[in-house]
Amino acid sequence: METLNFEYEAKQPLTRRAHVGVVGSGDLEVLIEPPDKPAANVRVRTSVDGYAQVWKAVLDRFFSHFEHAARVEINDFGATPGMVTLRLEQAGELVKP
């Protein structure tokens, strides 16, 4: 089990919450909430160790176009990068003003 933390600059805070996905075999859940500070703070808890660079690449791509301040929690049980991107995009759509 590994916990990773990332922070991204943001332009405007969120006002909504979202919860997508479920932690299960090969899947993950994403929770997005309004922030405590003016940045996007991401905590990833994953059952697969040693993939910090892959997580960073996926999150860098997502936060290159999602510019909201938010607190993001990702709970992973071995999801592929494609599934991570899908869940992030789903959550992002739900919290858009």
Distance CA 26, CA 77 (A): 5
pTM score:
0.93
Topology annotation, domain 2-95? Ribosomal Protein S5; domain 2 (3.30.230)
pLDDT at 27: 86
pLDDT at residue 26, rounded to an integer: 73
Averaged pLDDT for residues 3-16? 94
- List pLDDT tens digits, range 12-60: 989 999 999 998 777 899 999 999 889 999 999 999 999 999 999 999 9
